Amino acid sequence: MASANMKDIKRRIKSVKSTMQITKAMELVASSKLRKARDKADSAKLFFDALYDTMWEITDENDTFKSIYFSGRQVKTVMFVVIAGDRGLAGGYNANVLKLAQQKIDQTAKEYEVVVIPIGKKAVEYFTKRGYKVVAKYENIAENIRMNSAKEIGSKIMAAFKNGNTDRVELIYTDYVSPLVQLAKHKSIIPLEKPEEKVAKKLHTSYEPAPEALFELIMPQYIAGVLYGSIADSFASEQAARRIAMENASDNATEMIDELSLLYNRARQSTITQEITEIVGGANVQE
Amino acid sequence: MASFNLQIITPDKIFFDGQAERLIVRTTEGDMGILAKHENFVGALPSGAVKIMTDGNYKVAAISSGVVKVSENKTTIIAEAIEWADEIDIDWANRSADEAREKINAAESNKEIAYAELKLQRALNRISVHTSNKK
């Protein structure tokens, strides 16, 4: 009986060990991808900030500045752009961002019509399964996000806004705060909201073409910049979340192996003890 | 020659950060040169060439759409993509131009055509900047 028990334990140790090999490997892959993704997100931020400042400087220059991208339109349809991962096994990463998206959508759906652009396989699955109106979907673009793909998504959003299919655009993504903290966040893309804290400093700048036309030209880049930055940020968050999840899994596996080895040794010892007792018992009888 | 601070930012990296004596760009309104102490200015850049003079020598780069901004003697170019003319892989650019042409011919929707045309434009810009730099 004891030896059957021993075999069982041995089998379990082996299976935990092989799982641990996988989680360890995934942890390593995630941390190397994380480093790359963070560099990308950092430089994207520089680019985006420069663009963002320029844009607001243009609007600050004259008080009569007008653009269709500012609020003041009757809202009927709201578009949600939701960025989640392409893969699972990343701790709460996908669940958190989708939960926030669902929450915001439920609030909005009471008053307005909702359409969705999911980015990432998990988001696509989630929204198509629940029967939402998906106007466009993008999978497997996050890891090697290029400005071109961001622009394509951006042009889709802007076209929908221009021809009146959408009156408001909201973005749900995950903000990379630190290797240990990633927060699902919500951000309005259109209409544009003027940053409050900016004190308008008149720089007396000349514009070519005129500010309004220039603004129209910069707008696609701005939107693409927002998307690019958010996708890069989300991907870094995904890797960080996966790294932590896999680290925990590996730690748990180590602990389990320790416990099982203890059990195994105990079982082995008790078999030996029993054998000795039997031999001694047998010898005693012969005397 | 007086110089000014020039920074060229792309989504991937800071492409250029330093002093320049002269900058020539082609905005949507036409060519313009920027020297030190230029007035504050913002302009849109379609794809084209950017010439930067440092230490009396011009360096040429191919840019694909961006914004140029001069603000208090500091110039910033925010570019979607930019590369030095002498670093352009001309074979690759030619190949990608051919691919884009094929795609335009085979395209079934306007969207596909528009996308392929953009690709072709970028490739042709690279080729033209590269060849004009060679001369």
Residue of B nearest to A202 (CA): B40
B76 with B23, same domain? Answer: yes
Which chain A residues contact residue B29 at CB under 8 A?
Answer: 208-209
B50 with B74, same domain? Answer: yes
B61 with B95, same domain? Answer: no
With cut-offs at 50, 70 and 90, classify the pLDDT of residue A196: low
A232 with A263, same domain? Answer: no
pLDDT of residue A62: 66
60-99 of B, contacting A, C-beta below 8 A:
65-67, 69-72, 76, 78, 80-81
Give the CATH number of the domain where residue B110 resides.
Answer: 1.20.5
pLDDT tops 70 at residue A184: yes
A22 with A70, same domain? Answer: no
A148 with A212, same domain? Answer: yes
Q: What is the pLDDT of residues B52-91, one digit of tens each?
A: 998 888 889 999 888 999 988 899 999 988 988 888 888 8
Grouping H, G, I as helix, E, B as strand and the rest as coil, residue B26 is strand
Is B42–A57 a contact, with Cβ atoms under 8 angstroms apart?
yes
B13 with B73, same domain? Answer: yes
With cut-offs at 50, 70 and 90, classify the pLDDT of residue A199: low
Is B42–A147 a contact, with Cβ atoms under 8 angstroms apart?
no
Structural domain containing residue A211: 29-243
A236 with A254, same domain? Answer: no
**Residue B117 has which token pair?**
């045309």
> Is the predicted ipTM greater than 0.85, yes or no?
no
B65 with B107, same domain? Answer: no
Q: What is the pLDDT of residues A108-119, one digit of tens each?
A: 999 999 999 999
Q: What is the mean pLDDT of residues A55-62?
A: 77
B68 with B119, same domain? Answer: no
The residues of A whose Cβ lies within 8 A of any Cβ of B are 40, 43-44, 46-48, 50-51, 54, 57-58, 147, 151-152, 203-209, 214, 217-218, 221, 224-225, 228
Is B71–A44 a contact, with Cβ atoms under 8 angstroms apart?
no
B60 with B13, same domain? Answer: yes
In whole angstroms, give the CA distance from residue B41 to residue B68: 8
pLDDT of residue A132: 93
Residue A203, in any domain of the structure? yes
B13 with B52, same domain? Answer: yes
With cut-offs at 50, 70 and 90, classify the pLDDT of residue A190: confident
Mean pLDDT of chain B: 87
pLDDT of residue A203: 66
Give the CATH number of the domain where residue A263 resides.
Answer: 1.10.287.80
In whole angstroms, give the CA distance from residue A105 to residue A115: 9
pLDDT of residue A163: 87
Q: What is the mean pLDDT of residues A207-228?
A: 86
pLDDT of residue B76: 93
A193 with A75, same domain? Answer: yes
pTM above 0.90, yes or no: no
pLDDT of residue B124: 86
Q: Which member of A40, A58, A147 has the closest CB to residue B42? A: A58
31-60 of B, contacting A, C-beta below 8 A:
32, 39-44
**What's the distance, Cα to Cα, between the start and end of chain A in Å?**
29
Total domains in chain A come to 2
Residue A174, in any domain of the structure? yes
Structural domain containing residue B28: 4-86
Residue A43, in any domain of the structure? yes
pLDDT of residue A108: 92
Q: What is the pLDDT of residues A11-55, one digit of tens each?
A: 999 999 999 999 999 999 999 999 999 988 888 888 888 888 888
For chain B, 135 residues long, the average pLDDT of each consecutive 10-residue run is 90 90 90 90 88 89 89 90 86 88 83 80 85 74
Which chain A residues contact residue B69 at CB under 8 A?
Answer: 54
B105 with B82, same domain? Answer: no
Total domains in chain B come to 2
